[in-house]
Amino acid sequence: MKLPLKPLKIGKIAIRSPIILAPMVDITDLPYRLVCRKAGCQLAYTEMIYIDAIIHENQKTQKLMQTNKTDSPLGIQITGNNLEHFKQAIPILKKYDFVDLNCGCPSERLIKSQAGSFLLNSPKLIHDIISLLKSNGLTVTAKIRLGFKKNNVLEVLKAIESAGADAITVHPRLAIHGYNEKADWQQIKLVKQNTKLPVIANGDILDEDSALSCLQQTGCDAIMVARGAIGDPLIFKRINNYLKTGRKLQVSIKENIKYLNLYLSLCKKYDFTDLSRIKRISCKFIKGFPGSSKIRNDIMLAQSLNEIKNIINKVNID
């Protein structure tokens, strides 16, 4: 079944294919974003960055913020709870196509800092942060959950909309819910019915069928792929093709390994040297053929990026 897709518009940013790469901590750095763009993703975000780390010019944070001309359009995803810190960061934030306020991350560290999903407890603060950013000429979106411990999604939506945001992404779980709790797409439909903002759906979009189902059930303007894109950047190519033609592409393991090699090359080119991260992501690419478990084990034992590349280059797939 084909589903005609309309281009997504966020402020002045127009996206032909509204299949978006989600911001993911320890995943969506510059090399991984570029790999996904090569595979058909047009819109991506940095990893979530705490606003304090931006204004203090933390070295690790500077690396997370790295981008280039081909990595566009790009949103920088931020979180925090101090309006003054957001104000101080505005000159830096203006370097990106848009800013995404994270009001959904349920990590314990962020909750202790009263940021991420903790912000859902204070719709007024969310409103004030977005208003501040908008008043300084920024294109602003927000990524939310249904609530922190209870569902207050429409209250948060009203705060975001009245602050002048340009779009909203909805992950339809509470902050206290894990992945065992099924994403409630009907809540995304409810949001869509109660706003004129572009609505991006996120949660349990793992393949072509779930992408189509989510679009049909929610009436949303775009979908955001998270876990489904880890080690499988070609998910964007497959979803785009399925929605346009109604046919599923058969992507070979050989092609997936080709994209893994590209990822490793980009890590080297842009000096992304966190070997533990590279190993975890690389192993996600290697699956579904005889001997793949041994290759993953070899990757985890590797001592350098070059060693990982050598292991991959020796993979023989008929």
* pLDDT tens digits, one per residue of 67-98: 999 999 999 999 999 999 999 999 999 999 99
Level-2 CATH architecture, domain 8-245: Alpha-Beta Barrel (3.20)
For residue 285, name the pLDDT band (cuts at 50, 70, 90): very high
Does position 179 have pLDDT exceeding 80, yes or no?
Answer: no
pTM attached to this predicted model:
0.95
For residue 251, name the pLDDT band (cuts at 50, 70, 90): confident
**Active-site residue identified among 41, 103, 105, 220:** 105
Does position 317 have pLDDT exceeding 70, yes or no?
Answer: no
Has 220 been annotated as catalytic?
A: no
* pLDDT tens digits, one per residue of 120-154: 999 999 999 999 999 999 999 999 999 999 999 99
* pLDDT tens digits, one per residue of 17-53: 999 999 999 999 999 999 999 999 999 999 999 999 9
For residue 287, name the pLDDT band (cuts at 50, 70, 90): confident
- The domain ranges of the chain are 8-245, 253-313
CA distance 242 to 42: 17
Between CA 217 and CA 25, with CA 154 as vertex, the angle to 5 degrees is 75
pLDDT at 119: 98
